[in-house]
């Protein structure tokens, strides 16, 4: 083998060895999606079910509260009608009976008579003066806030306030009786300012005639 052939052969062998020893580039591997967490999926499904159940329970509660409110309002209306009928049975006409059944209302935690209520009491006074045979029961009522004991005492003070006003203007004490129902007889059972304002009141019932 001459020198040129040897060099050619050596170069070829060197190139072959270099080619065989070259490390191929790494092959990129696509990321695999994480396997779903079955426990998390179960927890999410349970949370959704609880949320749906809670929403349904809330809706049912609102519907029940509305039904109770309607029932209580209807009962209050019946009581007003019955009071008017009782008053009419003692000789009052429909207008005077309705006036005697009208309620006096109070501010929160107060037993003081307000100006509009004094005007109403003046109308009742005129009717009582014109019909000396009438006997009236005044029932004090409160909203739902506060203890039963406190509201019974507050209701009595409210009934007494109207009674004192009438007796101070000439109505004999034996013609008026008072009672407190505290928070036991709400007109509106809702838990709102409007409902509470309606429930803070005196009711007036003509109980019998003195003759």
Distance in angstroms (rounded) separating the CA atoms of residues 149 and 170: 32
Asked if residue 126 is part of any domain, the answer here is yes
Residues 84-108, mean pLDDT to the nearest whole number = 86
CA distance 4 to 209: 149
- The sign one gets for the Cα dihedral 53, 192, 182, 207 is negative
pLDDT band for 48, please (50, 70, 90 cuts): confident
- Give the tens place of pLDDT for each residue, 63-89: 654 555 555 555 555 555 555 555 557
Domain assignment present for 8: no
* Sequence-distant (≥ 6) Cβ neighbours of residue 94 within 8 angstroms: 84, 88
> Would the pTM count as exceeding 0.85?
no
Tokens at 141, concatenated: 């009522």
| Cβ pair 92, 100 in contact under 8 A | yes
Q: Is residue 44 part of a domain?
A: no
Q: What residues make up the domain containing 111?
A: 65-209
Q: Are 127 and 166 in contact (CB under 8 A)?
A: no
Burial of 142 (0-12, 13-18, 19+ CB in 10 A): buried
Q: Is residue 22 part of a domain?
A: no
The total of structural domains in the chain comes to 1
Residue 108's DSSP bridge partners are none
Note whether residue 51 is domain-resident. Answer: no
pLDDT of the residue at 50: 82
pLDDT of residue 13: 47
Tokens 């000439």 correspond to 170
Residue 42's pLDDT is: 79
DSSP type of residue 186: -
Could you tell me if residue 177 is inside a domain? yes
CATH code of the domain covering residue 163 = 3.30.1330.60
Task: Answer whether residue 97 is part of any domain.
Answer: yes
197: in domain: yes
Residue pLDDT, tens place only, 106-164: 999 999 999 999 999 999 999 999 999 999 999 999 999 999 999 999 999 999 999 99
Burial 179-207 (b: 16+ CB within 10 A, else e): ebbbbebbbbebeeeebbbbbbbbbbbbe
């Amino acid at each position: 083998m001459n020198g040129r052939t040897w060099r050619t052969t050596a170069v070829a062998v060197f190139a072959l060895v270099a080619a065989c020893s070259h490390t191929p580039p790494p092959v990129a591997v696509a990321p695999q999606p994480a396997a779903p967490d079955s426990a998390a999926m179960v927890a999410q499904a349970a949370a959704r079910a609880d949320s749906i159940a809670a929403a349904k329970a809330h809706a049912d509660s609102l519907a029940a509260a509305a039904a109770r409110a309607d029932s209580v309002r209807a009962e209050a209306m019946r009581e007003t009608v019955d009071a008017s009928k009782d008053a009419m049975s003692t000789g009052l006409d429909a207008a005077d009976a309705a006036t005697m059944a009208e309620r006096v209302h109070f501010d929160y935690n107060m037993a003081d008579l307000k100006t509009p209520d004094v005007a109403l009491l003046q109308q009742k006074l005129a009717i009582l003066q014109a019909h000396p045979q009438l006997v009236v029961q005044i029932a004090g009522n409160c909203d739902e806030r506060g203890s039963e004991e406190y509201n019974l005492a507050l209701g009595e003070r409210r009934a007494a306030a109207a009674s004192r006003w009438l007796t101070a203007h000439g109505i004999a004490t034996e013609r008026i009786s008072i009672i407190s129902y505290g928070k036991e007889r709400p007109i509106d059972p809702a838990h709102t300012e409007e409902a509470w304002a309606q429930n803070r009141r005196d009711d007036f019932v003509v109980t019998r005639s003195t003759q």
